Amino acid sequence: MYPPEFEEFWSAYPRQIEKKNCYITWKRLSKKAQKEVIIAAKNYAKAMQREQREEEYIKHAKVFLNPQKEIWKDYLESPKSASDAWLEKKLKEGNAS
């Protein structure tokens, strides 16, 4: 019933509610955006797992996909761990000297 690209997104997304409505929103995205959203969903799931966020505080998939808000663009890059962020900051500080 749903295309494989949407199913890949859906299986990666950490809060699977209202699949039919989510698919309606998915269809409004360009093919390029759909590919990016799959990556973003995987990264979002990792971030939510790392933060141990309770399910009730994880965005509904259709909100995540909303083309006007483009929340998913914030998750195109893999989430950094606290130690990665610390190291990156220290390296920048070292280059500023």
Q: 13-49 pLDDT, tens per residue?
A: 999 999 999 999 999 999 999 999 999 999 999 999 9
What share of the chain has pLDDT > 90, as a percent? 68
Of 82, 61, 56, nearest to 71 (Cα)?
61
- Number of folded domains that form the chain: 1
Cα-based angle 85, 91, 94 (whole degrees, multiple of 5): 140
Quote the domain boundaries for residue 67. Answer: 4-96
- 90 band by pLDDT with thresholds 50, 70 and 90: low
List the structure tokens of 2.
Answer: 């749903």
- 88 band by pLDDT with thresholds 50, 70 and 90: low
Indicate yes or no: pTM above 0.85: no
